[in-house]
Structure 1
Amino acid sequence: MIKTTTTVTNPIIWADVPDPSVIRVGSTYYMSSTSMHSMPGCPIMKSEDLMHWELVNYAYDTFEDNDMHNLMDGKHIYGKGSWATSLRYNDGTFYLSFSSLDTNQYYVYQTTDIENGPWERYVIPGLHHDPSVLFDEDGRVYVFHGNGRIRIAELTADAKALKADGINQLLLEGETEGMGLRAEGCHAYKLNGYYYLFFIEWPRVGNGRRRQVCYRSRELLGPYEHRIVLDDHLDYQNNGVAQGGLVDTPTGEWYAVLFQDHGSVGRIPCVVPVSWEDDWPVFGIDGKVPHSFEVPLPQKEAKPLVASDSFEYAANKLALQWQWNHNPDHALWSVTERPGYLRLTTGYTARSVEFARNTLTQRTEGPACSGVTKMEFGGMKPGDRAGLVALQHYYGTVGILAGEEGAHYVAMCVKGDDGEEVAVEKIRYEGNHIYLRIVFNFEESSDIAHFFYSADGEAWIPIGYPLRMKYLLQHFMGYRIGLFNYATKTIGGHADFEYFEYEKRN
């Protein structure tokens, strides 16, 4: 018997899926998210019950090719890249747009097949901060954007460029009194004869947490009235659940998909019931974000967002759960050169894993998770470093350091005060393969990572010290686990990873 309802439990994904933008097309929901420096970027996920999401596509493999995006000459796009996306569907076409702080440009991607592409890209000069696209019923298209000072700009009917003689003006001013973060993260809708604009704001006064606000007007250009529609948190976290938009069911129920900052694991999405009173949206149950509730949608099978990989591929194309840290150099990695292994070959020198090109990453998940790999390092050259990384601005690694005359060392390293990689503990290691493991614990904001190695995959030896993980705005992203190999002296060495084994712990 098919279950006709689904229990939504918050968070719906206990991993870094920030700035969610959700639409419904027929009975299927699609969600896009911020991806910044991870490539491919702008992940597309789908669901039929709002609880169980599957990764199905990305909007692009890379969106710029320059030194910053390629981690060259000490340059990077950490904390920049693609920010909050706006996902929309109109007349058979899907539209995904975002702005990038490092290029100061606004990007619009379009496709008629969101799960398979291809996507066409259009670039509009000028930063349109946290954009939200609105297709009005009269055929005109607008983008709302800004921080505090919210602007409206009119796009051409095909949403490929700014309309030359279209509207382009300041629309409204967010609250200023006592505000730390003024209105941003716009999600715009036309419903019930009103224009609705949803924002996040963060007052310095009161409970000190972020909240969701709604502006509405019967006229596009206002005036707009507004009210706070949600000021609540989830569980023991005081961080407010906010920033996101609305979506309905085929039978007319309404929900908001928002997110909450959750320490070093990142920004985690939540679903909140929405009702209507006097054409105002009412978020939550008695103003609270429920831990769980029923939605009138048939439950579907869960698909993992983070997954193990045996690296058994017929072609040189990785599973969707993997993202590179910045743009990869495709000539320097392979899953077919040595079948059953991921080979990472060095082509550049770097001062630390933070600037190592071709680091292959996945998200981490709460409340706890772990990743294990078996690595063969006979092809490494003196000065090479390879292994597993817990990646954020303050990172930790466990792996092999290749020394002179065939010497190898297993080491746990962290970021030093000068930005260089520092070995906390370093031990001479014999052989040509090693098992590496990182265990992450995010429960109740403990935010600790432990590092281990093994010669046989059975007896695990802790190394270094537990890393106190910190969510820092330099990367603006939750911790990721990654496989890396980089050179500090001579390029051309390689490391082979036989598998990546992932386990989520509830």
Structure 2
Amino acid sequence: MRLVSFLHPVALCWAVLTGATALAAEPSSGANPALRDGSSALAPAQPNRAHNPLIWADVPDIAIIRVGKTYYMSSTTMHMSPGLPIMKSTDLVNWRMASYAYETLGDNDALRLENGKNAYGEGSWASSLRYHNGVFHASTFSANTGRTHIYTTREPERGPWKEISFEPSLGDHSLFFDDDGRVYMVYGGGRIMLTEMKPDLSGIKPGGVNKVIVENVNGLFGADQGGLKGEGSQLFKANGRYYLFNIASPGSRWARTVTVHRADAIDGPYEGRIALDDRGIAQGGLIDTPEGKWYAYVFKDNAAVGRIPYLVPVAWKDGWPVLGENGKVPMTLDIPAGAQGVSGVSGIVASDEFDRQPGDPALPLAWQWNHNPKPHDWSLTKRPGYLSLTTSRVVPTLLEAPNTLTQRTFGPSSSATTRIDVSGMKDGDWAGLSAFQRQYGFVGVRMANGVRSVVMVSAETDKPEELASVPLSGNTVHLRVDCDFEPAPELARFSYSLDGKSWTPIGRPSRLKYTFPHFMGYRFGLFYYSTKTAGGRVDFDYYRVGQGAADRR
């Protein structure tokens, strides 16, 4: 098969996660940890081969393209800024951060965490990634802005990315450049639409194609309907045929299923079939290699760590793509592992000593702010070698705090440590290191009535509770959070140290739970906020990420 044109976004689906049933982890043997469905995360028979999951971290809604021998991948990070991350690989297995398509999606109260509003679980959703006539196109859509956004550049690692946006917000869309020069977006849920775009991508073309191409994706389940309506459209063209990928689920069981429809013309008629139904691993598209091999890229809801990517071999039979091995997703791949490691995260998370040399970027690409940052309230130059955070307004809890700086957690276990100077805190201030999601937990420092204390706080019941407090006589303290995602139950553990060597547990382990509206796996977060008087300051000396249980001292 010859790849002629390819695109992908993957839709975010609230219904799948709210309706899905979490599977308990089964015991694993040897050194191979078990995923929550009981399958091994590693490839025990061939340790030199790549394994699934590709990345044991929250990298959902992936879109992948190949340009020559290089692959590019985009993903969803919703309310984080910068957003629409672009990753790069030469082997489809080992990925590293390349850039972000935007610094901030928009400028309104929700995206700024102001006036009681927020963009949790919103921001920018599933992206489409394309390469056409020497230009990279990354597109997304947003309920916060009510618009469809398209970002373009010729150099995705250096930018700049230029933006075009228009109304309306086309949900779960895919951008598609056809061979005849016409441009389309495919979008919708359940009922899939094809809409022609203006040649300059500035909006929908007046008088262009605008029609339903699949009336009901879930019709493939026959009478067993009522589940997740087909969404997450991805369209590509191979050997003159058009192939449309979606996810859906039957009504009797909320299990992600890959569906595919094909047609000889872009506007149909389309015929369809179920392409993969295995452990809920679904929602993705197709990619080919320079050697002519084909794969499907998909992801799996994996509880509190988030939605994690898988790669599935594809064969062609009678003009249809056949996914997996005997209908199953293999855990070992026919690709050399390279430096993949257990979690596959080495290129998307990073320790940071906050030392900067002339010409260095302000922050490594692994970092993202929770919502739009307040530029005047953080600095790497006020105290060289430190991240300085200040406050300019009062908020009630961590969820409303601006300038929380985050990175992904990862499985099967991961840890983050930091050292913080709290000499500039004011009464009513809180600062520290969090396992961040709606039901967060953190270890940090609270200042009340002129007294500083090391505290552990848990919001696993949606109401923040201070579960432990230890007086702090000095100005500095080291903080640590360990997240264990396998085996169940998933927990965060908190500790502190006065010398960075001997660690003392504080409070109790906090249960980790993937919840709405955040719709995101847990993140490590450095934070500082004021509940009484703004204007204080704290300085973070370093941020170090590790394998969690594997490197506990």
TM-score per shorter chain, which class?
over 0.9
Counterpart AA for 1:32: S
Going from structure 1 to structure 2, the CA distance change for 1:455 and 1:300 (only over 3 Å counts) comes to closer
Instruction: Determine the structure 1 residue equivalent to 2:62.
Output: 20
State the match for 1:427 in structure 2: 470
Using the TM superposition, give the Cα deviation of residue 445 of structure 1 relative to its aligned residue in structure 2, in angstroms.
4.0
Task: Tell me how far 1:285 sits from its aligned partner.
Answer: 1.2
Quote the residue 1:43 is aligned against.
Answer: 85
SS at match of 1:68: helix
Instruction: Identify the residue that residue 193 of structure 1 maps to in structure 2.
Output: 240
Q: Aligned residue for 1:265?
A: 305
Deviation at 1:316, TM superposition (A): 6.9
Alignment of 1:33-432 (within 5 A): 33-172=75-214, 173-175=216-218, 177-205=224-252, 208-233=254-279, 240-295=280-335, 299=338, 303-314=346-357, 317-405=362-450, 407-415=451-459, 421-432=464-475
Q: Unaligned regions of 5+ residues in structure 1, if any? A: 234-239
Distance 2:234 2:460 in 1: 40
The yes-or-no answer on 1:30 pairing with 2:77 is no
Q: What is the percent sequence identity of the aligned residues?
A: 47
Alpha-carbon contact 1:217-1:223 (below 8 Å) kept: yes
8 A contact 2:167–2:203 mirrored in 1: no
Which residue is 1:236 aligned to?
A: none
Offset at residue 171 of structure 1 (A): 2.2
Aligned with residue 527 of structure 2, among 442, 461, 484: 484
Give, in whole Å, the separation in 2 of the partners of 1:444 and 1:466.
14
CA–CA distance in structure 2, aligned partners of residues 298 and 392 of structure 1: 32
1:300 Cα deviation after fit: 6.8
Q: Distance in 2 between matches of 1:443 and 1:411?
A: 26
| Higher mean C-alpha deviation, range 326-335 or range 5-14 | 5-14
- Per-residue deviation, 1:73: 1.6
Name the structure 1 match of 2:541: 498
Distance 2:167 2:272 in 1: 31
Residue type at the aligned position of 1:213:
T
- Native 8 Å contact 1:361 1:482 kept in 2: yes
Give the counterpart letter for 1:102 in structure 2: N
Q: How far apart in 1 are the matches of 2:415 and 2:188?
A: 39
Q: Distance in 2 between matches of 1:326 and 1:428?
A: 32
**Contact in 2 for aligned 1:316/1:336 (Cα 8 Å):** no
The structure 1 residue matched to 2:503, chosen from 451, 460, 463, is: 460
Q: Which amino acid aligns with 2:248?
A: E
Q: Which amino acid aligns with 1:88?
A: R
How much has 1:463 moved relative to structure 2?
A: 1.3
Quick one: structure 1 residues 445 and 102, their matched pair in 2 at CA, closer, same or farther if it must change by over 3 Å?
farther
CA distance in 1, matches of 2:110, 2:239: 45
SS class of match (1:426):
strand
Offset at residue 381 of structure 1 (A): 0.6
Output one character per residue of 1:208-261: Cα deviation in whole Å (capped at 9) or x when no partner.
42111101111222221111111113xxxxxx1101111101121101111001
Cα drift, residue 421 of structure 1: 3.1
Is the contact made by 2:53 and 2:309 (CA closer than 8 Å) also made in structure 1? yes
Distance across 2 between alignment mates of 1:68 and 1:469: 25
1:201 and 1:210 map into 2 onto residues whose CA distance is 6
Aligned partners of 1:486 and 1:16: how far apart in 2? 26
8 Å contact from structure 1 (residues 434, 453) kept in 2: yes
Quickly say closer, same or farther: Cα 1:462–1:299, change in 2 above 3 A.
closer
Separation of aligned partners in 1, 2:414 and 2:82: 23
Q: What amino acid sits opposite 1:292 in the alignment? A: T
Post-superposition offset of 1:170: 2.3
d(CA) in 2 for partners of 1:293, 1:194 = 28
Q: 1:298/1:409 Cα in 2 relative to 1: closer, same or farther (>3 Å)? A: closer
| Partner SS state of residue 331, structure 1 | helix
**Is the Cα–Cα contact under 8 Å of residues 17 and 33 in structure 1 kept in the other structure?**
yes
Task: Give me the CA root mean square deviation.
Answer: 1.7
Would you say the 8 A contact 2:460–2:511 is kept in 1?
no
**Aligned equivalents of 2:141, 2:415: Cα separation in 1:** 33
> What is the distance in 2 between the residues matched to 1:17 and 1:493?
35
- What is the deviation of 1:378? 0.2
What SS does the aligned partner of 1:413 have? strand
Contact 1:56 1:115 (C-alpha < 8 Å) held by counterparts: yes
Distance in 1, matches of 2:126 and 2:113, equals 22
- After superposition, give the CA deviation of every residue in 1:422-446 in whole Å (9 maximum; x if it has no partner): 2122222211101100000011343
Kept in 1: contact 2:259–2:272 (CA 8 A):
yes
What are the Cα deviations for residues 375-424 of structure 1, in whole angstroms up to 9, with x where unaligned? 0100001111000011111001110001123x10111112276x553212
- Give the AA of the match of 2:234: H
